[in-house]
Amino acid sequence: KGFPRYDEITNYGESLGHGSFTRNFKGFKTDIRDGEKHVTPVFLKELDVVHKNCWESFFEAASLMSQISHKHLILVYGVSVLGVKNIMVQEFVECGALDLYLKRRRSVSVSWKLDVAKQLASALNFLEEKNIVHGNICAKNLLLAREDDPSQGSSPFIKLSDPGISVPMLGKDVILDRIPWVAPELLDAPEKLTLDCDKWSFGATVWEIFNNGNTPLLGWDLDKKRQFYESSQQLPPSQWTELADLVNQCMDYQADFRPSCRSIIRQLNSLITSDYVILHATEHITK
Ligand code: ATP
Ligand code: MG
């Protein structure tokens, strides 16, 4: 897979705001296959010029994502380079980021959320089997490719986005700001990014999903966030004890105590959602 050339990317202009180190745009990718012109909408992330020293890490993220393929991982076409501009070209995901979607919708069913958590766990399992560390799992980096269509019995469909600039390249403040997603052991040793760290982030992301996309520790300053980890605190537990237990296991301050992906998937599969229970209860009554 070659990196797309800049002149194949058109309509580069509709701004979609900022990422941590990027400016985002919607665009279109044009390629000629079998003599036919194919136009595909794409999402473009242009690395900020002030973060130019991170370009290697940015390329690494793109190359990692373009080399692996899984239905719940975003498709990255490559990085387009024009002079000083480095632009990551990836598939355009219609419904955008999951945190924003959940905040907008407010009331999403428990089984919907559980579906999303299972999909993320399957992506995580795929990465674990390949021994690939993601390093930036959070609800903002889960993109919603399909809401759901109850009339067709179809469920939501998510894709995990690229990790962006890797943790060891980040400044201390950015790492502190990523509390509670960043694994606590990375505060003092950002280079110790391992598969265990993704488990912690998974726990924090599941917490977000089941809290309607509300941002945990919103508005806390960096000092307060650091103290949160230094005193080994936990996010407020879900009332659903089995779910709270799973989040707790993932967000264990002792990295090697965190569960394997197989265990996470097994636990998710054993969770019976309350709307499922309610559905069956009413069926029973109407019989
Ligand atoms: P970071 O590296 O910290 O994740 P980023 O550059 O990936 O930063 P984000 O803040 O994750 O930027 O994403 C910004 C917004 O862009 C998201 O909230 C989402 O709505 C939108 N977005 C990101 N990727 C896509 C995509 N592939 N398709 C459609 N929208 C996207
Ligand atoms: Mg992102």
pLDDT above 90 for 138: yes
User: Nearest Cα to 49, choosing from 5, 13, 84?
Assistant: 84
Is-contact 74 162, C-beta < 8 A? Answer: yes
Please name the residues in contact with 129: beta carbons below 8 A apart, sequence gap of 6 or more.
261
Indicate which ligand has the atom closest to the C-alpha of 159: 1
Tokens of 124: 């995580």
Tens of pLDDT, residue by residue over 141-186, are: 999 999 886 666 668 999 999 999 999 999 999 999 999 999 999 9
- Tell how far the Cα of 59 is from the centroid of ligand 2, in angstroms: 14
Tens of pLDDT, residue by residue over 193-204, are: 999 999 999 999
Please tell me the total number of residues recorded for the chain in this structure: 287
Give the span between the Cα atoms of 282 and 59, in whole angstroms. Answer: 53
DSSP string, 129-152: HTT------SGGGEEEEE--BGGG
Where does ligand 1 bind, in terms of residues with CB under 6 Å? 16, 19-20, 22, 24, 43, 45, 74, 90-93, 96-97, 100, 136, 140-141, 143, 161, 164
Indicate which ligand has the atom closest to the C-alpha of 102: 1
The pLDDT, as a whole number, for residue 171 is: 93
Q: How many other C-beta atoms are found inside a 10 Å radius of the C-beta of residue 98?
A: 27
Complex prediction ipTM = 0.97
Mutate to test the pocket of ligand 1, among 14, 24, 101, 181 (most ligand atoms within 8 A of CB): 24
In this prediction, residue 1 has a pLDDT band, given cuts at 50, 70 and 90, of very low
Residue nearest to atom 8 of ligand 1 (CA): 19
Please name the residues in contact with 287: beta carbons below 8 A apart, sequence gap of 6 or more.
none
Tens of pLDDT, residue by residue over 217-269, are: 999 999 999 999 999 999 999 999 999 999 999 999 999 999 999 999 999 99
Burial (CB < 10 A; 0-12, 13-18, 19+), residue 158, is buried
pLDDT, average across residues 45-49:
90
Buried b (16+ CB within 10 A) or exposed e, 78-96: bbbeeeeebbbbbbbbebe
